[in-house]
Amino acid sequence: MSRRVVVLGSVNTDLVLRCSQMPLPGQTVHGRDFQTLPGGKGANQAVAAARLGASVSFIGCVGDDAFGHNARRILAAEGMDTQHLHSISGASTGVAMILVDDAAQNCIVLDAGANAALSIAQVDAAKATIQDAGLLICQLECPLPAVQHGIALAHAAGVPVLLNPAPTQALPPELLAQVDVLVPNETEAAALLQLAPGAAFDATAAADRLRTLGPPTVIITLGAHGVQLACDGSNVHLEAPVVQAVDTTGAGDTFIGAYAAAWCGGASMTAAIAYAQQAAAISVTRAGAQAAMPRSSELPLKVSGRP
């Protein structure tokens, strides 16, 4: 029987504008192809899981503004429970203003907006939802005390916790001790291990070292190279399907949402990773983040029950 995926995380609106050249301070340049796209790591991961058939509850905050109303409508349209998605009056919904030039370089200004308002009390109000989950997923785009409270509630109830440590920040050892599955990408893994910038990255060694910080399972995502999985004394590299990538935005979010959908649907960890790698591989062949996330009918693998 499927268990519910609970996502505690961010909701953003990405405002994307293309230009031939980046404007210098004080300069005005012509732009084109303006797009307003739903984003935020929390919302992205929740959409990926819901689209693959998982029952998903979302805990987070949007502003009481047009972007917030739209984000709520989008999450609800994916079939999600948004009972714990709060509208914060006087706050704006989180936004990322993204300029992309013709050399595909980008400049991004992020305003966490209402995401910064997620409180311990709001997370506490979702206690029953967290305690009933098959998996709690968190990232680090919401205030750390709120994230930490959600993780503590899940841990105390025996609900497994998946943490995507993005964007990277120093984490208290007691938080990492309550995480069951840590899923960083290569950059986040290097930052958590305080590796020198530019130092060679050894995924096997990094996964082992991350386990010593507390999480019994570490999955380092390695882009087109797949993942490194360390758990139960084993440390293995699992290849990604070979595809022609056109846009890798949101690959990690698709991987995490799909992993959660499969795991909560009863798949073993390695089966859930294979499923997640297929979903992420499909997503990179299409443009956008949420727009590129697949439905289960598109995946050759199906979720099968855990032994």
Residues engaged in binding ligand ADP (CB under 6 A): 185, 221-224, 226-227, 240-241, 243, 245, 248, 251-252, 255, 277, 280-281, 284
- Per the CB < 8 A criterion, the answer to whether 118 and 62 are in contact is no
In the complex, what is the shortest distance from the CB of residue 152 to ligand ADP, in angstroms, rounded to a whole number? 25
Residues β-bridged to residue 205: none
Burial 279-288 (b: 16+ CB within 10 A, else e): bbbbbbeeeb
Maximum pairwise Cα distance, the chain: 62
In the complex with ligand ADP, the residue whose CB is nearer, 158 or 300, is: 300
State yes or no: cis peptide before 38, omega within 30 of 0: no
Q: Is 102 a catalytic residue?
A: no
Looking at residue 212, its amino acid is T
Could you give the 3-state DSSP secondary structure of residue 215? coil
Residue in 131, 148, 130, 128 with CA at minimum distance from that of residue 139: 148
In the complex, what is the shortest distance from the CB of residue 31 to ligand ADP, in angstroms, rounded to a whole number? 26
Burial 45-72 (b: 16+ CB within 10 A, else e): bbbbbbbbbbbbbbbbbbbebebbeebb
Helix 41-51, helix 251-264: angle, nearest 10? 50
In the complex, what is the shortest distance from the CB of residue 166 to ligand ADP, in angstroms, rounded to a whole number? 7
In the complex, what is the shortest distance from the CB of residue 294 to ligand ADP, in angstroms, rounded to a whole number? 12
In the complex with ligand ADP, the residue whose CB is nearer, 88 or 183, is: 183
In the complex with ligand ADP, the residue whose CB is nearer, 130 or 279, is: 279
In the complex with ligand ADP, the residue whose CB is nearer, 146 or 273, is: 273
In the complex, what is the shortest distance from the CB of residue 206 to ligand ADP, in angstroms, rounded to a whole number? 13
Distance CA 11, CA 18 (A): 23
- Per the CB < 8 A criterion, the answer to whether 138 and 150 are in contact is yes
In the complex with ligand ADP, the residue whose CB is nearer, 123 or 240, is: 240
In the complex with ligand ADP, the residue whose CB is nearer, 20 or 106, is: 106
In the complex with ligand ADP, the residue whose CB is nearer, 146 or 229, is: 229
- Per the CB < 8 A criterion, the answer to whether 290 and 47 are in contact is yes
Distance CA 16, CA 11 (A): 16
In the complex, what is the shortest distance from the CB of residue 245 to ligand ADP, in angstroms, rounded to a whole number? 4
Catalytic annotation, pick one of 14, 65, 180, 253: 253
- Give the residue at shortest CB distance from ligand ADP: 252
Residue in 204, 202, 197 with CA at minimum distance from that of residue 219: 204
Phi-psi map region of 303: left, alpha, beta (phi>0 left; psi -120 to 50 alpha): beta
In the complex, what is the shortest distance from the CB of residue 254 to ligand ADP, in angstroms, rounded to a whole number? 7
The residues annotated with a catalytic role in the active site are 253
